[in-house]
């Protein structure tokens, strides 16, 4: 995440990849957008889908949902259940 954040400030494009580019790398980019840009999971997916076919596997999707809930709790200063 630190390398992605550092490189994103350099003009141009950042290439994030894994073997197929639809699950692991997509999950990293979605998480980055959620954390750095304050997007919800749905907003992050909507931002990426026009550019790449993203389909995080079920385990990664569950982790992204958990991240989303944690970020929402922080945003609204809510206590966990």
Residue numbers annotated as active site = 18
Tokens 């966990």 appear where?
80
DSSP assignment letter at 79 = P
Question: Could you tell me the two tokens for 53?
Answer: 């076919």
| Alpha-carbon separation of residue 46 from 43, 54, 78 (angstroms) | 5, 10, 26
């Amino acid at each position: 995440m630190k390398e992605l954040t550092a490189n994103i400030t350099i003009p141009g494009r950042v290439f994030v990849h894994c073997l197929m580019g639809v699950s692991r790398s997509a999950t990293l980019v979605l998480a980055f957008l959620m954390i750095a840009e304050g997007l919800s999971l749905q907003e992050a997916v909507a931002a990426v889908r026009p550019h790449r076919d993203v389909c995080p596997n079920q385990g990664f999707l569950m982790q992204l949902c958990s991240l989303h809930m944690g970020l929402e709790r922080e945003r609204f200063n809510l206590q966990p259940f």
